[in-house]
Structure 1
Amino acid sequence: MKVLTHWNPFREIHELQHRVLNALGTSANATGERESTAVAEWVPVVDIIEDEKEYLVKAELPEVSRENVHVTVENGRLTIKGERRFEKEEPGKKYHRVERSYGNFVRSFNLPENVDAEQVGAEFKDGVLFVHLPKQAKAKPREIEVKIN
């Protein structure tokens, strides 16, 4: 299975800058106001497993609600996207460290030719998304007897 990963060097530079400023306690937003939390785009980790019947994509999506996850299959491409929202700040709570990433995420994968796109299914359990990509039945080779005249 071919995997295409989109790399955005500017996002990585921005995240590094944000982490350094946040660690120093000098993080500020575009208007110059001090930010109390870090919100960044993130990429969930996935495992892709194959057996004789299907490909299985397992994506870790902790604290993401099922309503915030969208799975699509279009033109030979599987796309998983959604959002992990940051907790609302409450009076009396003070965050000392925020290391987990929040915000929108997108993962896309090219599907092998033998995936039956009409039968793709997904389930969400214990913070893990399972996307089942069944394989199409292979046409069995047929042996033809050659007659000699």
Structure 2
Amino acid sequence: MSLIRRGDVFDPFSLDLWDPFGSGSGSVFPRTTDSETAAFAGARIDWKETPDAHVFKADVPGLRKEEVKVEVDDGNVLQISGERNKEQEEKTDTWHHVERSSGRFLRRFRLPDNARAEEIKAAMENGVLTVTVPKAEAKKPDVKPVQITG
């Protein structure tokens, strides 16, 4: 499995396009330097391939479906983005520990040639976004018999 790398170090917050099929040449998208985006950019996403579809599952706890966007850019780039707002701080609150991140996230995946991007479906349940990208039926090779002479 190929991972996005910057130099020799894996960068989980890179906003480069993840292209396991090697169909592009590097990132076609600008990097962001917004520290709030970087804090939440690593939204955890699994991608599996079944016989019928490519299935993406993203952990987006605490977000409503209205706060998440699923788009197809350039015909074959799946883009999942959203934003988690900071909790309102009251003057009387005393924070002891903060681990939950807020800010924007953005993940991009180049879809393979067999993806039918026009038929993508997305659903959200219990903080998990599931994006299903159906696959085109594999074309059977056209076999033509050749007559042997002689």
- Alignment partners' CA distance in 1, 2:32 and 2:125: 33
The match for 2:142 is 142
Residue-pair matches, total: 124
Are positions 1:62 and 2:61 aligned together?
yes
Structure 1 residue identity aligned to 2:39: E
Q: Is the 8 A contact 2:67 2:84 kept in 1?
A: yes
Measure, in 1, the Cα distance between the counterparts of 2:64 and 2:94. 24
Q: 1:51, CA displacement in angstroms?
A: 1.1
> TM-score, normalization: structure 1?
0.71
CA 143–55 in structure 1, closer or farther in 2 if over 3 Å, else same: same
Q: CA 1:40–1:115 in structure 2 vs 1: closer, same or farther (change >3 Å)?
A: closer
Q: Please state if 1:131 is matched with 2:126.
A: no
Alignment match, 2:107: 107
Larger CA deviation: 90-99 vs 64-73: 90-99
Whole-angstrom CA distance in 2 between matches of 1:40 and 1:97: 20
TM-score normalized with structure 2 length: 0.71
Q: Does 1:72 align with 2:71?
A: yes
> Aligned AA for 1:50?
E
Distance apart, 1:147 and its partner CA: 2.4
Task: Give 1:142 deviation, angstroms.
Answer: 2.5
**Alpha-carbon shift at residue 69 of structure 1 (Å):** 0.3
| Within-5 A mapping of 1:115-126 | 115-126=115-126
Q: Encode CA deviations 1:8-60: one digit per residue, 9 max, x unaligned.
A: 6966xx68xxxxxxxxxxxxxxxxxxxxxxx9631211111111111111010
CA contact 1:2–1:110 (8 Å) conserved in 2: no
Q: Which moved more, 1:1-10 or 1:76-85?
A: 1-10
SS of match in other structure, 1:114: coil
Distance in structure 2 (CA, Å) of the matches to 1:9 and 1:72: 19
SS at match of 1:41: helix
Deviation at residue 115 of structure 1 after TM alignment: 0.5
Counterpart CA distance in 2 for 1:71 and 1:3 is: 22
CA gap of 1:6–1:143, structure 2 versus 1, over 3 A, is same
Q: Which has the higher helix share?
A: 1
The root-mean-square deviation of aligned C-alpha atoms, in Å, is 2.7
Gaps of 5+ in 1: 16-38
